[in-house]
Amino acid sequence: MQRIRSALFNGLWAVWTTAFTPVILVIRLAGTPGSWVRAASRTWARGILFGLKWVVGITYAVKGAENRPEGPCLIVANHQSAWETIAFLVLFPEVAIVTKQELLSVPIVSWFLRLSPMIIIDRDSGTKAIRKMMDEGAVALAQGRSVLIFPEGTRSDHLARIEFKRGVELLYAKLGHPVLPVALNSGRYWSSDKKVMRAGEITVSFLPPIEAGMPPQAAMKRAELSIQNELDRIGGIEPQALAS
């Protein structure tokens, strides 16, 4: 049954995305304001989450909402499936997501990524990608938009222990904003290597923020351990001690 429900959802996803073609035309005629593009992206994302709930049976619950900083921040989250790249458009209405260049090959989606605008990087370009993240991240924050990065660099199995790539330390040092660590277990229900989705409730935990100005390596190690400890708590594994 879940195989059928998953296939039905994928079909509805394609139809819903295609239905946004007229929206693109209207926005272009209006001069393509970024705020309009982001509003359309949120509507698209809500439709996807609605389909997941009523077709597949995947819902979500947010924990620790009081931990969100008042102003824009650097959001670091673990990455287990496509779910979070959609849901964060709703959870953080004004967000600039660091995303991979390969998504520019996806029709319609690529248009929204370019004009939101998101921070699109070529992961194989090394220091050039890091420089682009820092420059465009600073612009987004100056506009009042938070910056979201998945510091593992790619999706991982929900049972794997997380490990941040070094680029996020440089991003934290450059941007000078607090960090909001976010832990989620989306891979339990929509894994990166399976087409069949499982019904259930995804937990999204906003963890205590990390202030700006800490030594970058210590700050990101703290964020990494904070996320891992929350994932371990959800899975019933003994938490590690947080770095001071």
| DSSP annotation string for 142-180 | HTT-EEEE-TTSS---TTSPP---THHHHHHHHH---EE
Q: Is the pLDDT of residue 28 over 80?
A: yes
Q: Is the pLDDT of residue 241 over 70?
A: no
Q: How confident is the model at residue 191 (pLDDT cuts 50, 70, 90)?
A: confident
Query: In sequence order, which residues have a C-beta less than 8 Å from that of residue 18 and are 6 or more positions away?
Result: 108
d(CA 175, CA 154): 22
Kindly indicate whether the domain formed by 2-235 is annotated with CATH number 3.40.50. no
Q: What mean pLDDT value characterizes the chain?
A: 88
DSSP line for 37-91: HHHHHHHHHHHHHHHIIIII-EEEEEE-GGGS-SS--EEEE---SSHHHHHHHHH
d(CA 23, CA 108): 10
Percentage with pLDDT > 90 across the chain:
54
Tokens of 125: 């370009």
pTM: 0.89
